[in-house]
Structure 1
Amino acid sequence: MARLLVTGGAGFIGSNFVHHVIEHTAYEVIVLDKLTYAGNRASLAGLPEERVSFVQGDIADGGLVDDLVTAADAVVHYAAESHNDNSLSDPQPFLNTNIIGTFTLLESVRKHGTRMHHVSTDEVYGDLALDDPARFTEETPYNPSSPYSSTKAGSDLLVRAWVRSFGVAATISNCSNNYGPYQHVEKFIPRQITNVLRGHRPKLYGDGRNVRDWIHADDHSSAVLSILENGRIGETYLIGADGERDNKSVVEAILTLMGLPADAYDHVNDRAGHDMRYAIDYTKLRNELNWHPLYRDFERGLQATIDWYRTNEDWWLPAKAATEALYARAGQ
């Protein structure tokens, strides 16, 4: 592989992957991004122009996608509508991007015989009880609970069908919750960090007992690259980092690391259909590809994330006021 097409490469997880590829490989990268509110050209600032090119466009645009796939040796598909709250208010964009967009991409890689890796989420599996010792595995049945997770589940199933029916050379990964640089301030961790930086109190959904399995975006990127280069075609790999924390603990850790009392936050209305617990068993990835996360210490990764938002106010501030206004209207 010499050139990668990265869809959604100006979004949070996609842009982190592009930075990782440029730092750790000799690949060239074509970024395709629609630049919705969650995409930001500034997330690609500083990358070498001779190795990274940018195209603004929609992955549901078959002609454009076909042209870009023709120019690439492999495709890494991050592009997705991904915010649960937004999917509850307006599911339509999630169907257009996550289902139709993935179909469009699959038809193009099928036509050209191009290697593809599809990036998905652990939310397709639904949730686990707090007292359940189990974790999600590649064999866990799908049980999505929101328009977002159901459309991601649908996109996964499309990829599996195109592998089986048409011989598309694809792999899938389902990852736990990411945190790190370049994440939109609507998301849980950057919202709390930027609230503190603006002199406002963090907000916690409900009682904060909901558990997420956190992974730093750098670790997600290294896992995806490993699967792309060495994963078995047709296989699904779960990506995690043993980072289970309840939301209350995360907010309290942010406040403590930022030098404030751990209880200096407000409870707000819970999200409708809020999944209780996610937990990833990444044994297959570890055993088959010898992959291990670098950020095993969640607090260390969280401190690095706080430091990034503290020193990159110009990146996140333009979206902050409008985001908080939307939350305020929802009582959150």
Structure 2
Amino acid sequence: MNLLGIDTSFDDTAAAVVADGRTILSNVVSSRLELHEHFGGIVPEVAFREHVLRIQTVVEEALARANTPLDKLDAVAVTYGPGLLGSLMVGVSFARALAVGRGLPTVLVNHLEGHLYSPFLSDGAEPRFPHCAMIVSGGHTSLYRVEAWGKYTMLGNSRDDAAGEAFDKVAKFLGLGYPGGPIVDQYAQRAKAGLPDLPRPMLHSDDYDFSFSGLKTAVIARLVKAEKDRETIPAEDVCRGVLEAVVEVLTSKAMAAALDHGLSQLTLSGGVAANATLRDALAREAEKQGIEFLAAPRTLATDNAAMIAGVGWHLLSARGPSPLDQDVMARLPLGPRESHP
């Protein structure tokens, strides 16, 4: 069964064709990040306009690369949240028009659900249900217990800034550009020493939640004081200190969630999953505890439509088509929150 996947949840316009939930026939992502760099972040109106201009071309390219004409498609999967409302509306409207015109079923997919699925688009990667899953991106830092595709329990979540957002804000303060994640990683690799004594927010809290706003504030306060004292702190050392603090917290929380719930498989996905320091730290700790660790391929860590088509195949098989009157959702929690005593 060939599914066309479409994702326009944020700034990238993405389309992909995936066969039977696993075989990626094409995966096209069109990004115009340079249009947003001047503003230090994504401008919703600009993103909306670019999606409108690019969506048809991106879908046509995905079909051409997959050598799959429209009459060989079996369904259309599309992200309906969370994300920017205008951006989401472009993708969902296009997907529904195409599906209705061709008589195809449509399946609506939570963008985060796609990220949870992305580690299993690797060759030979198989889910062990239930398993522990971590999503780390610019907008989300969350831990889930995955019972099956379509059945999730949130174990922990970011209370304020997500990890990727903290990277963005530190990079912006340093004048290094946007997005911050890859830039912080690049600078950190060149550091002689990390910035010492940075806080590890909520490292020892009795839960699996995250908070990175305090880390960002501590870094900025340190840099402001250094400037007043006419002290020079290399940007490389700042980035390494921030990266080390974030990775320590993420690794500790992920391992605690997996071990406390008796889960033998841990996955990592989301844009920050491309970070080598984080991947290596989780892999080392998981191996020590006898936990299988799987990370999304770097090419699928950031937003893409292959993950939407992949998990969409499972959802369509289990639930059937989605209703045509479901609205897009800027906020869309994935599963209930685990209750704590």
Normalising by structure 1, report the TM-score.
Answer: 0.29
Normalising by structure 2, report the TM-score.
Answer: 0.29
**Larger RCO of the pair (alpha carbons < 8 Å, separation 6+):** 2
Greater radius of gyration (CA): 2
